[in-house]
Amino acid sequence: MSFLPELYFVCPNCGPFVRVFAEVLGEKAENPYAVELIEQGEHGLTVCDKLQLKPEKEEELSKIYHCGNCGYLVHSRILELDPVDQIEEYLHHIYRENESN
């Protein structure tokens, strides 16, 4: 288990503190090397499990993060998106959804 302090994701559909999964991709790979199962808490992210799909090659890896509830792409560059901005985006989504109903 690994711990990523001070990092958070907010899903526009499901809200803050949802479970997250990350696809671990190589720059030349067509399919992910692994899927990481991530829990969020008060102090950041904890990688609970890593499902290795195929051996990783010697190349730069990237991760694409998805909501564990609905599968929505939450954000792949978490450090560039402030948590306050993510929460505002979520609240705007709910507001727009309520207006359309």
Buried b (16+ CB within 10 A) or exposed e, 42-63: eeebeeeebeeeeeeeeeeeeb
pLDDT at 21: 94
Q: What is the pLDDT of residues 16-71, one digit of tens each?
A: 778 999 999 888 778 899 999 998 877 778 889 999 999 888 888 888 889 999 99
Provide the pLDDT for residue 97: 73
> What pLDDT sits at residue 51?
93
pTM for the full predicted model: 0.68
pLDDT at 92: 75
